[in-house]
Amino acid sequence: MRALLLAAGRGERLRPVTNTIPKCLVPIHGRPLLQIWLDHLFETPGRIERVLINTHYLSEQVEKFVDSSKWADKIDLVYEEELLGTAGTLAANKSYFDGNAAFVAHADNLTDFDLDAFVEHHKARPAGHQITMLSFETDMPETCGILECDQNGTVLEFHEKVSNPPGNLANAAVYILEPEVIELAAELPGQVKDLSIDVMPKYLGRIGSFQTDGYHRDIGSVEALARAHAEYKLDPE
């Protein structure tokens, strides 16, 4: 399976940290977030073949990082002159997945979910399900997309960053998408498109939720980054 790591954002909520460094390279205990992601994906044998990373803000820093990475020969970069949105990037690069399912993740999440279990859960999904979504219990539900699921874990409702969310089970912004979903993203009008707003609502009742019991936090704000440093322990390299 090939993967798309969404890493092009400007990191506005992380300023002043992101004044001089792209969000995907913000260090966690000295290790860039993107390195944590790449290690996690490629050190799980037989799951991820190659990774595509989109760039925009301070792209030269990401390019330099990738050039020096031990995984450089398995990484492809695509520069966006104008940000396309999460679904727009997927649509613009649909040929990268060659008609196969895609692993897609927001690279500003710090996570240690079980990739093997996630892939196997997708393989065993009910008939008709086209998406498997990683989910987690959040302590900041008003900042997340909150899920309502049935007893089988199928996502029935999706509440994107509402003031009074109906629970704390959140979308972790880590997905496996079947080819149909990639095609739909490509067929949506306009270039700038968002997975949560433009794609996910069309698949309610056909999205499976896989809840991680590991660590997961979006480090997109200064407060969240501080929490991550206090909570997360990296394994030694």
Q: Name the nearest CA neighbour of 156 among 164, 145, 143, 147.
A: 147
Domain assignment present for 29: yes
Q: Answer whether residue 59 is part of any domain.
A: yes
Residue 11: its pLDDT value, please? 85
Q: Which amino acid is at 53?
A: I
What separation in angstroms does the CA of 179 have from each of 39, 90, 219?
26, 11, 29
Per-residue pLDDT band for 20 (boundaries 50, 70, 90) equals: very high
Indicate whether 236 belongs to any domain.
no
Instruction: Report pLDDT for 144.
Output: 81
What percentage of the chain carries pLDDT values higher than 90? Answer: 80
* Per-residue model confidence as pLDDT tens digits over 115-158: 999 999 999 999 999 999 999 998 888 778 899 999 999 999 98
- Does 22 fall in a domain? yes
Per-residue pLDDT reduced to its tens digit, 33-79: 999 999 999 999 889 999 999 999 999 999 999 999 999 999 999 99
Question: What is the domain range of residue 103?
Answer: 2-231
Distance of CA 88 to the CA centre of its chain: 14
Report the pLDDT value the prediction gives residue 142, as an integer from 0 to 100.
79
Note whether residue 237 is domain-resident: no
- This prediction has a pTM of 0.94
Nearest alpha-carbon partner for 12 in 27, 22, 1, 2: 22
Q: Domain holding 26: CATH number?
A: 3.90.550.10
pLDDT digits (tens, 9 = 90+) for 77-104: 999 999 999 999 999 999 999 999 999 9
Q: Using pLDDT thresholds of 50, 70 and 90, give the confidence band for residue 237.
A: low
More confident residue, 237 or 188: 188
In a domain, 66, yes or no: yes
What whole-number distance in Å separates Cα of residue 123 and Cα of residue 114? 15
Q: Does residue 167 surpass a pLDDT of 60?
A: yes
| Total structural domains within the chain | 1
pLDDT at 233: 80
Q: How far apart are CA 109 and CA 112, in angstroms?
A: 10
Percent of the chain with pLDDT over 70: 99
Confidence (pLDDT) at 236? 57
Q: Report yes or no on 26 lying in a domain.
A: yes
Residue 42 tokens, joined = 């490629």
What pLDDT is attached to residue 48?
98
